[in-house]
Amino acid sequence: MTKTPFYITTAISYVNGVPHLGHAYEIILTDVMARFQRLDGRETFFLTGTDEHGEKVAKTAEQHDMSAKEFADKNAASFIKMTETLNISNDDFIRTSQVRHHKSVQAIWKKLHDKGDIYLGKYEGWYSIREEAYFAEDELRESEDGAKFTPNGTPVEWVEEPSYFFRLSAYTEKLLEYYEAHPKFIAPDARRNEIISFVRQEGGLKDLSISRHKSRLKWGIPVPGDDDHVMYVWLDALTNYITGVGYPDENSEAFQKFWPAQYHVIGKDIIRFHCIYWPAFLMSADIELPETVFAHGFINVQGEKMSKSVGNVLSPDGLVETYGLDQIRYFLMREIPHGQDGNFSHEQAVLRINSDLANGLGNLAQRTLSMIHKNCDGAYPSPGAFTDADKALLDKAYRAMLNETREAYNTFKIHRALEAIWRVVSDANAYIDEQAPWTLKKEDVSRMNTVLCVLADVIRCLAIIVQPVVPVSANKMLDQLKVPDDQRTFEHISDAYALKPATAIDKPEGIFPRIVEEQAA
């Protein structure tokens, strides 16, 4: 049976700043899922990009004496570079300033307009430029000098202007029915409950302002048929998910194949936009809704929220330089539980990298391959009959680990997948100590060969299954094991013993070096 294609997206990042650990976490998480799906046999399309319009970018550009476009170009380049630094396997990178996207947003606007869901009104209210969002009076906090702030602490200003509105109020019931009928639409469940109670609030949803007057904002997509207005950033930004697969050409190959998306991966701060506005826009435009919006938690650094003023903002470049690429990917995926907030601490990173990667998987592979190289004439021997202990370990790798890991990867429980994988790493390390193949060299060469074969085949399975998280290192390991390129997908795990006797292997080199404290500090 051929599997259905898989489409996954990250949020698109604002270009008023440069990438930091939070962006890195989100894109790595999404990359792990995309790589897993490809290795599990699904044709996959992975989209990421930048969200470039809006007042915030226009104002920051001004402060830097640059045009908004120049400023966006400069910072979009640093987000593109991040995809390279972190070895992200995205298939496309969308920028909302691109012509393809302007066409797409104008097309969806027309659809909503033709539906009768857009009308011209007047907006007045509290607006946070930094969050690009309006806030109700009762959501705001007031400082001693009377200045008002959002719950996230950003300042708001009073704004009055003519604005186009989207009839979001007409979608209150439709959305609630949709959430009820599609329990997988919002994940994890805690977020789903949060959205449902927000939509259920007294009086239902309010209509949504979706444009700005040109006198206030020029850096945006013009409203079709009214040169005095440009679009509000969220209609513009959210539409990137369909632009990326060819909208407005709904008959295009990409749209037909990949829409609706399986996952929009986003941070918990932007769930309302994704779980309320976006489905309402899509319903109005008669476009199918994505399967799941998955909201991950936030990462703090050494227990504190990242912020420029605290001076604890970590850059992807710096992290890769300090810890290594696959090491940082592993640490983030292992340390931050499904949908919850997590903490980045230097001490914990060094501990995990050294114990799990250097001493755990790395040492297992290094010991095994060195012994084969040294004691078996540099090539795989033939295994003899497997004992119960051999069969138990192989079976764990072929079946239990594969099943648990598949299930965990599929539901974004990446830390659970890694736990299941590392249970086999420690079982294999215990097995090597119990079997002590080094003592068998003189007594029973045939048994030594079998033990080394069992270990090598378990390492083959481990390297295949860990590829989504540490792709470069896992592939180095598979190269050392001489596993052919076309035998590295998940279906090759469930093969029975798969190493070819007499295949020559090279003298192995360590794949995961230990981090020595002085270097990392």
Which stretch, 21-29, 224-232, 411-419, 476-484, contacts ligand MSP (CB under 6 A)? 21-29
Instruction: Say whether the peptide bond before residue 183 is cis (omega within 30 degrees of 0).
Output: no
Q: How far is the CB of 25 from ligand MSP (least distance, A)?
A: 5
Say which residues have a Cβ less than 8 Å from residue 453's Cβ, sequence separation at least 6: 380, 381, 382, 383, 497, 499
CA 421, CA 202: separation in Å to the nearest integer?
48
**Subset of 188-247 contacting ligand MSP (CB under 6 A):** 237-238, 240
User: Pseudo-torsion of CA 190, 193, 194, 198, nearest 10°?
Assistant: 180
Phi-psi label, residue 54: left if phi above 0, alpha if psi -120 to 50, beta otherwise: left
CA 87, CA 482: separation in Å to the nearest integer?
23
CA 186, CA 201: separation in Å to the nearest integer?
18
Q: How far is the CB of 122 from ligand MSP (least distance, A)?
A: 26
Asked if residue 118 binds ligand MSP (CB under 6 A), the reply is no
Which stretch, 17-25, 85-93, 117-125, 384-392, contacts ligand MSP (CB under 6 A)? 17-25
**Subset of 251-270 contacting ligand MSP (CB under 6 A):** 266-267, 269-270
Q: How far is the CB of 17 from ligand MSP (least distance, A)?
A: 7
**Subset of 336-395 contacting ligand MSP (CB under 6 A):** none
Query: What 3-state DSSP class applies to 310?
Result: coil
Closest residue to ligand MSP in the complex (CB)? 267
- Residue 164 pairs with which residues in a beta bridge? 120
Residue 492 burial (CB < 10 Å; 0-12/13-18/19+)? middle
Kindly tell me which of 105 and 266 has the beta carbon lying closer to ligand MSP: 266
Binding letters toward ligand MSP, positions 47-66, x by CB under 6 A: ----x---------------
For 133, phi then psi, to 5°, come to -150, 150
Kindly tell me which of 242 and 306 has the beta carbon lying closer to ligand MSP: 306
Give first-to-last CA distance, the chain, whole Å.
Answer: 51
Kindly tell me which of 239 and 405 has the beta carbon lying closer to ligand MSP: 239
Strands of 118-128's sheet in order across: 133-135, 118-128, 157-166, 208-209
Q: How far is the CB of 485 from ligand MSP (least distance, A)?
A: 34
Q: How many CB atoms lie within 10 A of CB 209?
A: 22
The residue with tokens 């001490």 is 347
Q: How far is the CB of 219 from ligand MSP (least distance, A)?
A: 14
Binding letters toward ligand MSP, positions 293-332, x by CB under 6 A: -----xx------x--------------------------
Asked if residue 23 binds ligand MSP (CB under 6 A), the reply is yes
Q: Which of 7, 8, 18, 26 binds ligand MSP (CB under 6 A)?
A: 26
Asked if residue 93 binds ligand MSP (CB under 6 A), the reply is no
Asked if residue 72 binds ligand MSP (CB under 6 A), the reply is no
Which stretch, 9-17, 203-211, 322-330, 507-515, contacts ligand MSP (CB under 6 A)? 9-17
Q: How far is the CB of 244 from ligand MSP (least distance, A)?
A: 11
Residue 216 burial (CB < 10 Å; 0-12/13-18/19+)? middle
Q: How far is the CB of 314 from ligand MSP (least distance, A)?
A: 10
Say which residues have a Cβ less than 8 Å from residue 518's Cβ, sequence separation at least 6: none
Q: Which residues contact ligand MSP by CB under 6 A?
A: 11-14, 22-23, 25-26, 51, 237-238, 240, 266-267, 269-270, 298-299, 306
